[in-house]
Amino acid sequence: MNKQSIRVENLVKSFGKGDSLVDIIDKASFSVETGELIALIAPSGAGKTTLLMMIGCVEEPTSGQIWLGDEKVYDNKWLNKDTRKIRREKIGFIFQAHYLIPFLNIIDNITLLPQTSGQTKEESEKVAMELLKYFDISEKALAMPSQLSGGQNQRVAIARALANKPKIILADEPTAALDNERSISVVKMLKKIAIEQNVAVIMVTHDEAMLPLCDRILKIENKKVVSTIAKDSTFV
């Protein structure tokens, strides 16, 4: 049985002060279960990345509540001031650009964060190799990022996001730099991860073709978040 992985209640994000105060997100409420791949869509400037970064404990909301798993992490303030610890323990991030460190080989890119979080070199390399095998690129472990294709580098970036065994993956336009075939491959991979690794995945996307591959769509509409089943959705 799937468990609640993310819950957001009455979340508000405002910018500015006084007469220049603007609400980007206004009393948004939704939940995401483990095993779900969710597309987050909205017109440009409507707050998709801002919402993703609030869930990821990077951007502080103005008010509201956020639960990650069973832990309430925000209730009109961060309940744990060490938000970096929350991110390390609970969340994996994937971005439009893979942001691999160009002077580190592939396995070192994946093991860097786990080792800085206290994992031994041996343990982190074992996990990294398992992930590279999972993504069918284990033969590239000692290669440099410049020697890989865009799609391969994005697979490495996904492997890196999973290296700390998070329960939540937040992906901001992970297919934007890829062609249609590679984009479909990456989204199918994210769905496979959601099911097999029992994680919740939220993916910001502008690509209409990716929506039917997702379980549900969260759309920011009139500053609220509306949930629809992917196959019945239209992209605006």
Tokens of 165: 């065994």
Q: Parse the chain into domains and list their residue ranges.
A: 4-102+158-232
Q: Using the 8-state DSSP alphabet, how is residue 3 labeled?
A: -
Residues near 215 by beta carbon (within 8 Å), at least 6 away in sequence: 36, 37, 38, 191, 229, 230
What is the distance between the alpha carbons of residues 145 and 211, in angstroms, rounded to a whole number? 29
Mean pLDDT for the stretch of residues 14-27: 87
Percent of the chain surpassing pLDDT 70: 96
Average pLDDT taken over every residue of the chain:
89
202-227 pLDDT, tens digit each: 999 988 889 999 999 999 988 888 88
Q: What is the pTM of this model?
A: 0.86
d(CA 218, CA 223): 12
Q: Is the pLDDT of residue 236 over 50?
A: no
**CATH code of the region 4-102+158-232:** 3.40.50.300
- Residue-wise pLDDT tens digits, 74-87: 999 999 989 998 99
